[in-house]
Structure 1
Amino acid sequence: MREVIAYNWPQYAAGIGTAVVCAALSGRLPRPSRAAARAGAAAALGLLASATVATWLVYDRSELYDYDWLDALLPQPPAAHLVVGAGLDEAGAPLAARWPESRQTTVDLYDPALMTEGSVRRARRRVPPSPHALPGRPGALPVRAALADAVFLVFSAHELRRARDRERLFRECARALRPGGRLVLVEHLRDGANTAVFGPGARHFLPRAEWLRLAAHVGLRPAAERRIAGLVTAFAFAKGPA
């Protein structure tokens, strides 16, 4: 939770600032406007509280980072796997520890021209990439075709804000998969649950329909799906016929 706040501190500062300004103005406004200002202050503080609690529950208290939920998405441990990050690799180390016999390749897509969110730049400064990570682009992953039994996009694909870049990335992930292999995508979704706790911040996420579209666009089919802590969705998309 502390890391998420550090990466997104301007949003927290804006929320607190909005609450302070609304509270300060409420005593100087006419009665109808005073109630609206107080309601605005309460809403800003309530949204900060709900986002902070949700972040703590998901990232500190849930099963997210033990990766045991992968058993429901992958039929067997991969002999080789590819981890694609976008400035902050949250999956490489735990997956390497989970499958020490699996050959791991990591690719870093970080490009400040494509990833315009300040949170990504701050995360990059705080957590440098692995020295083993290969630099890549959405349309050119530096790996051979049919390299891996599993490809992982863990909180990385949504950082590509342009649909065509996401399409290129999914096409490259499909190319890197062996027949029968699976793309594992882990993301918050722009849905009712995430909007309820993150408010306007949920606009940064993408709807479920977009991820299904991208998979279908490159010939990957939905094979399994798991909801984690009520706010994160893990998809497995398979290459090849059912």
Structure 2
Amino acid sequence: MNGVARMVRYNWPKYAVAAVTLAGVAALPWPWRLLAVPGAAGVAVSLAATWWAYDHSRLHDWRWALDLLPTPRRYAVVSTGLDEISPALRDLLPDAEPTLLDCYDPVVMTEGSVRRARRLNPPPDGSVRADVAALPVAGAGQDAVFLAFAAHELRVPAQRQALFAEVARVLRPGGHLVLVEHCRDAVTVAAYGPGAWHFYPRREWLRLARGARLTPAGEATMTPLVRALVFQR
């Protein structure tokens, strides 16, 4: 299933409300039906942006990551409800030792889209339930930690700070954090409208890394909508 189809399935109530609303406005007499045009355009732009970011980019290839850091022998994937990167990393790094950490907490992560995504895509085999403030991983043992579209689900600043502190703890000296996120900026706002406020600006991730004593070590852009930020312990 492609990225657009997944997004619609995970967020179908929003799209259903939008469709009913647009249909009702379109049924109004002329020229009031023109009010449907901005809403329809917004939905179309959002879907096109998702297709561009997820289906027409190198994002899910993950070979790009090996251009940004040494090939890890041990790595951890931290997810907060949906882990879609572990299979690709296993294929790409068959000789490495992965640790899959499922940090989903339904009390904290209350988004309906996350619940639906989790029902449709259970955690991969071998996943371990974890707390973002106490990852069940020994200190200084991981060559890399991957956080893909996960950290923004932590809506309380202290939770994000705790996660970054734990990432720094489990990384070996010289190890890398690979953070993949939509960064809220003018392009993201233009693509997703108010939905862009579900994400955080790039400066927030830099602030958290600085607080955890992680140093910027590289960056890649997967279309202007998605960024990979790499930090080194």
TM-score range, shorter chain: over 0.9
- Write the deviation string for residues 153-192 of structure 1: whole angstroms up to 9, x where unpaired: 0111111111111111111111010000110000001111
Q: Match for residue 124 of structure 2?
A: 130
Structure 1, unmatched stretches of 5+, are none
Query: Which structure 2 residues correspond to residues 38-117 of structure 1 after superposition, within 5 A?
Result: 38-39=34-35, 41-74=36-69, 76-117=70-111
Cα offset, 1:221, TM superposition: 1.1
Letter in 2 for 1:228: M
- Write the deviation string for residues 185-223 of structure 1: whole angstroms up to 9, x where unpaired: 000011111111111111111111111111001100111
Report if the CA contact (8 A) 2:215-2:231 is conserved: yes
Q: Work out whether 1:21 is the aligned partner of 2:24.
A: yes
Cα offset, 1:66, TM superposition: 0.7
CA distance in 2, matches of 1:208, 1:3: 25
Report if the CA contact (8 A) 1:16-1:44 is conserved: no
- Write the deviation string for residues 48-95 of structure 1: whole angstroms up to 9, x where unpaired: 101111111221121001112213321x20011000011110111111
Q: Match for residue 201 of structure 1?
A: 195
CA distance in 1, matches of 2:10, 2:49: 16
Q: Which one of 114, 120, 134 corresponds to residue 114 of structure 2?
A: 120
Cα offset, 1:143, TM superposition: 0.6
Q: Identity percentage over the alignment?
A: 47
**Equivalent position SS for 1:101:** coil
Q: Which one of 127, 138, 159 corresponds to residue 165 of structure 1?
A: 159
Q: Match for residue 225 of structure 2?
A: 231
**Equivalent position SS for 2:27:** helix
TM value normalised by structure 1? 0.91
**Equivalent position SS for 2:146:** strand
Which structure has the greater CA radius of gyration? 1
Report if the CA contact (8 A) 1:182-1:238 is conserved: yes
CA distance in 2, matches of 1:202, 1:193: 9
Report if the CA contact (8 A) 2:63-2:92 is conserved: no
CA-atom RMSD in angstroms: 1.3
CA distance in 1, matches of 2:18, 2:39: 6
Letter in 1 for 2:151: A
Cα offset, 1:145, TM superposition: 0.3
**Equivalent position SS for 1:170:** helix
Letter in 1 for 2:142: A
- Write the deviation string for residues 86-116 of structure 1: whole angstroms up to 9, x where unpaired: 1110111111110111111010001110101
CA distance in 1, matches of 2:17, 2:176: 40
Cα offset, 1:38, TM superposition: 2.2
Moved more, 57-66 or 105-114: 57-66
